[in-house]
Structures are given as structure tokens and as C-alpha cells.
Homo-oligomer: A and B are copies of this chain.
């Protein structure tokens, strides 16, 4: 896994929400080995640290050759980003492009928005 860098939360005494939307996520279908494409939406309430934007981009980039299902992608991103930054609350949503005439959205969250 690519390293997630963080920087100190400039307002740790306040519950506030950060959202990063990346329409440039791509991985590989483990069954067909064809590329999958998605927009990944990350929302979180930081505790002591915020996610540095460039390392987030590189982290998403590390899935480019990974064979992984939609449901597993979102749960793994949530696990890895929340364990790297211990946010008060975090939600990850993947909007996956049409496959077989069906588009898919997977949403998982952890913690409490406060």
C-alpha cells in the first residue's frame, strides 16, 4: 500500500467535514482482467491529522493494476485510510461505471459524525 501522508489538523477542537472527490480511479476486474473505472468520494471528520492531497492521489494510483471487486475496493479504502489517519468519522463512496448495462455505487462508513 502507498504511504498516506498527513499534516496536523489546523482546528482539532472543532468537528468539521472534509470531502475529496477523485473521478480518476481505476483498478482491474479480478474475473475478466478488464479495467474498471470509478469516481471515489472520501468524506471525513479529522481528529488530530488531515490527509495530504498528493499522497491520497498516489494511494488511489496504487490500485491501477490491482484485481479487486467493487465491494472490496470501498471497504479496503475505508480500512486503510481510517487506520492511517484515525478520523472521528469517515465515509467512502465509489461510483463505478456501467458494466453489463448496470452502474453501481458502494458506500461504507466508520465512526460517528458527531
Which B residues lie within 8 Å of A64 (CB)? 35, 64
Which B residues lie within 8 Å of A104 (CB)? 18-21, 53
Contact with B along A65-94 (1 / 0, CB 8 A): 000011110110000000000000000000
A112: interface (CB < 8 Å): no
CB-CB under 8 A for A11 and B75, given A23-B97, A24-B35, A34-B61: yes
Q: Tell me whether B10 and A72 are in contact (CB under 8 A).
A: yes
Number of interface residues of A (CB under 8 A): 46
A56: interface (CB < 8 Å): yes
CB-CB under 8 A for A106 and B17, given A7-B69, A53-B100, A69-B10: yes
CB-CB under 8 A for A24 and B106, given A50-B71, A71-B50, A74-B16: no
A to B CB contacts below 8 Å, 24 in the list: A7-B69, A9-B71, A10-B75, A11-B71, A11-B72, A11-B108, A14-B75, A14-B108, A16-B75, A17-B107, A17-B108, A18-B106, A19-B105, A20-B104, A21-B103, A22-B102, A24-B35, A24-B101, A34-B57, A35-B61, A46-B71, A50-B71, A53-B104, A56-B102
